[in-house]
Each structure stands twice: as C-alpha cells, then as structure tokens.
Amino acid sequence: CVSEEYNSDLLDENGIKMNLDRVQDDEVIMNSQWMKDLRLEMLKGKWPSYCERCRLTEEGGGFSRRQFENAANSRFITKLVNDTRPDGSINVRVRSVDFRLGNLCNLACRMCNPRSSSKWVRDWLKIDQDWFGKTDQELDQYRRYNYYKNPKVWENFKKQVPYLRHLHFAGGEPMIVPQMVEALKICIDSGNSGNMSLTYNTNVMVLPDEVKELWQKFGYVRIYASIDAFGKLNDYIRYPSKWDIISRNLEDLEANFDKYHLRQVLVMSTVQAYNITQVGDLFTYLRENFERITPVPHLINLHHPYHYRTQILPPELKALARERLMEHKALAKEKMLSIPRMHRFMFYLEAMDEAVHFMESEDRQDLLPQFLRAALSKDRFRDESLFDLLPEFEVLKDWLPKHENNTLNTGAPLVDL
C-alpha cells in the first residue's frame, strides 16, 4: 500500500527501512517477513493496524483505496490468494507500479505541506504553522527530495516494465516532472505500452501536448483531477491555481476523450472545513458542462491536519453543509441515471453520505481557533480573505481572540512575517 510511504512501516528483520538504496530486488521486499505477516493477517479476515485509514473510510460508508484497488484487480484476486504460500510468501512479478515523483509541484495548497509540495518549502516558516516541521533543519530534507532521480530506481523500473499492466503517477505534480515523460518513453520502447493502463493524480493546471501524444501509445488512461471547489474558492484552497486554466483543460479532455485514449476523468475533492459548505457548486459545474467526464466529484475526507477537518465546524454550518450535499446528491443521481455509461460510477454518490457521516461523527469545535489562526495567517501572507469567499463563515468570527478579530478591520498583521 502506498500509505507506507508516510508510515515508514516496511522494515527488514533488523528494524531498518527497506528501500532501493539498500535492497535492489523486488523479491526481497515483497517477501520480507513484514509483508508475509501482513498477507497472512489479511487472509484471516483481520484488519491490520496499518490499514486504519481504509477501515475508517469503509465503516463510515465511503469507498476506500483498498476497495478501489480490489475493484481494479478483481480478475487477479482468486489466483493471488491461491498462490500465496502457507508462510505468506508469493511468486513476485510486479504488475502495477505507483510512481511517486518527489514533491516538485506548481501549487501550495492550504492543507498541504513541504513533503508533498516543493512550493511550500520556501514559505513554510513565514506563516503561522504548528503541525509540521518548525525549523529550517527539519525542512531541509524536502529541498533535496529527489529520490526519483536515483539510477537504482530506474534500473529497477526497467526490469519491471515488460510485465507491467498498470502505471500510476502522483507527486508533487507529475505533469511537470520530466522523469514522468521518460517513464512513458521507456514503456513505449519496451513494446509493452499497448498492454498497459495509466492513471494520474494531477491538479490539471498543466497538460503537455507531448504527454497527450504519448498517451495514445497506451491501452487507456484515467485522470484523477484534484479539484476542491468551483472557481475562486478552488484557487483560494489550491493556491495559486487558476480556474480558467483548469476549466479549459477539462474541456480539452472532454472534447478529445477518445483521441487521448481516456477511460475516465474523475474529479477528486478533498473535503475539508474550507469547502464542505460550497462543494455543491462543483457538482453543478460538472453536471451542467460535461457528458464524458464523470458528472460528480469523488469526495475524500481530509484526516490531517486535524484542524482542517470538517468536524471542527459548529452545528449551524454542519447543518448547512448536510442540506446542500443531499440536495446535490439527488441532482447528480438524476444526471447519472440519464447517461447509461455512468451507471457503473453510481457508487461515487455514497461518498457524499460518508462525508456527512464523518463530519457529524465528532464535535471538534475546540480546534476552530487553530483553524482560524492558520487560515488568517495564510490570508495575510497571500492577500486573500476567508470571509469574502465564505460569507457563511461570519459566524466563526466569535471564535477569534479579540486582538485577532480587530485585525480584520485594522489591517494589523496576524503574524510576524
């Protein structure tokens, strides 16, 4: 599971993290004692402790990454289970690669951090943040986050390519990383690209012509577009994105769906305090403008940082969010039922119920001051305004410390920049 990247759980028998600098053989990693124990636990029907994120998503009625992968690989599951030996080991032949191309990114989203976006490395210490690295030394490793340039990574990748059936790219922003194009060309040169599918997590700010040409050498492509709101609110959350560019690129994908070998374009929205009350506008935009692009975004609850969770909102804003989401769920369902090829994607509507369930599962208003402090700190730094874009958030001003509330009118700095 790619979540291991963040947990650092994949260790050898001596408790040392396994990576391609130390271990150059997929067999050693995939049949490590840690992996064997994990498989056996799953085969017993137990939830490993490492899988907490997926468990919580599913128990809340959502559709987890585990379920996504099982659906995509359903034809292999029986054979994989039958081929697993009593000790949990397997015959290793990698069929799918999730290629994380560092943190090079063109955006600095409000809920993001230097690990996932190079744009945050420079400015992180200039704003009021207390949930990630606090010193220049802690951030230095992310200035040199270029493991994907390691020759060993590419040697290993070239050995896998003849057998691959799927290649996923994420970042950072994969569309601006030259090594992504290099990977596509390696696949094409191998003669196996026609048997492979591609998937991307991308902010859709950049769609290079060269990449769209290369896609046509592959079986098909799925685009998971990271868009969190409609128009100016998306630009606010996913700074410094430009809605007109995003909209134009989505229109390009819609118009050239077959030419680019697209199988699906799905908007994936991180549901958080910033957008839960207005994400419905994104539903309207998709529903009214597209036939090939999935007309409903897939909602994914933000879990970290905690003070951006939807659970922090007061009851009146939670009630507003619920009302708007359920209204748009009904409209989206009507639209999808009218398009036969969209019937298989109806399960995305379940994520709307899960978003409401997650929001209402806890009352974390105690984190509102921390949310407001972080939001207004970024506002000051970027010359933006939370309350202009989200007028319903006026009720939150009562949660501001008196001296910070006064700065909304005086223009005094909220933080020492």
Range 113-120, long-range pairs (CB < 8 A, 24+ positions): 114/139, 114/142, 115/142, 115/145, 116/171, 116/172, 117/172, 118/142, 118/143, 118/145, 118/172
pLDDT at 413 over 70: no
Q: Which candidate, 9, 169, 43, places its Cα nearest to that of 97?
A: 169
Mean pLDDT, residues 143-149: 82
Q: What is the pLDDT of residue 28?
A: 84
Across residues 12-31, what is the average pLDDT? 76
Distance CA 390, CA 321 (A): 12
Q: Which of 44-58, 63-77, 113-127, 311-325 has the highest mean pLDDT?
A: 311-325
Give the pLDDT confidence score for residue 405 in this predicted structure.
54
pLDDT band at 347 (very low <50, low <70, confident <90, very high): confident
pLDDT at 222: 98
Q: What is the mean pLDDT of residues 162-174?
A: 94
The yes-or-no verdict on residue 128 having pLDDT over 60 is no
Given a contact cutoff of 8 angstroms between Cβ atoms, the answer to whether 111 and 308 are in contact is yes
The model's confidence at residue 46, banded by pLDDT at 50, 70 and 90, is very high
Confidence band for 67, pLDDT divided at 50, 70 and 90: confident
For 237-277, the pLDDT digits (tens) are 999 999 999 999 999 999 999 999 999 999 999 999 999 99
For the chain, the structural domain boundaries read 31-87
Per residue in 83-126, pLDDT (tens digit) is 999 999 998 888 899 988 889 999 999 999 888 899 998 888 77
The bridge status of strand 96-100 relative to strand 262-271 is unpaired
Mean residue pLDDT across the chain: 88
Q: Is 336 exposed, middle or buried (0-12, 13-18, 19+ CB in 10 A)?
A: buried
- The backbone torsions φ and ψ at residue 199, rounded to the nearest 5 degrees and listed phi first, read -135, 150
Question: pLDDT confidence of 4, banded at 50, 70, 90?
Answer: very low
| Position 157 confidence tier, pLDDT thresholds 50, 70, 90 | very high
Quote the pTM value.
Answer: 0.88
* 268-321 pLDDT per residue, tens: 999 999 999 999 999 999 999 999 999 899 999 998 889 999 999 999 999 999
Give CA–CA dist 352/298, Å, rounded: 8
The whole-number pLDDT of residue 152 equals 86
Average pLDDT, integer, range 167-175: 95
